[in-house]
Amino acid sequence: MFIGHFAPAFVAAAVTPDRPRLATMFVAAQLADWGFFSLALVGAEAMRVDPAASVMVPFDLYHMPYTHSLLGTAIWAATFCALVALWRRDVRLGVLAGLVALSHWFLDWLVHVPDLTWDGTPPKLGLGLWNWPWAAIPLELALTGTAFAFFMRRTRGPLGPPAGLAGAMLLFQAISWFGPAPAAAGPLLYLQALFAFGVLTALAGWVAQNRWFRKRGGLASRAR
């Protein structure tokens, strides 16, 4: 799953205190993958290209104990929760960010072939919807679209920034689904993934700077 991970980010940003902290929630949503590709760069976690791994995703994610075990994801989430709470001096915001980060594992469980774990050791877990594109593609689009619509209904502002973000998300997702498979896993692939996350997070920050919450009676409080 790729853009589907941002569904909890849109929901959390729409209910955050003070202003929609969409960039923070975008980091939280892909925190496990930020960690995975960063650790893969230094050899602490690993993957390989294998066209037989699943119908949709030609990656054998065979070593991800620190980021894609439930225990590992929970530790990343708890750490991010604490950092956000301290940075923003807002416990509720930190808890929301932590929950978004934790959601990553459960959304991955829906689509991954068995490569996730409880604590980095067998058994390997995953419902495997990547082997059924007719189910995985509509699910990801429905999750993301519904959450995006919820965010838009809860906020006001110009349509340009969210339209740009939505377009970039769909573009990156289309490349992920329908683009050519890389010849091999390696630093270039990992850096491309991190670049995509960075672009989407920057666009989410642009959106947040130009959206503010709707208030009762049609009034609105602009983000500062």
Mean of all residue pLDDT scores within the chain: 94
Cβ atoms of residues 49 and 55 within 8 Å: no
Q: Which helix (H) or strand (E) holds 11?
A: helix 6-15
Residue 224 and residue 16: Cα distance in Å, rounded? Answer: 14
Q: Is pLDDT of 17 > 80?
A: no
Check pLDDT > 50 for residue 218.
no
Question: Using one digit for the tens of pLDDT, what is the confidence trace for 47-65?
Answer: 999 999 999 999 999 999 9
User: What pTM did the predictor assign?
Assistant: 0.93
How far is the C-alpha of 110 from the C-alpha of 131, rounded, in Å? 11
Domain residue ranges of the chain, discontinuous segments joined by +: 3-221
Alpha carbons 100 and 94: distance in angstroms, whole number? 10
Integer Cα distance of 61 and 50 in angstroms: 9
pLDDT at 217: 39
Is a pLDDT exceeding 90 seen at residue 192?
A: yes
Q: Is 100 helix (H, G, I), strand (E, B) or coil?
A: helix
Q: What amino acid occupies position 204?
A: A
68-97, pLDDT tens digit by residue?
A: 999 999 999 999 999 999 999 999 999 999
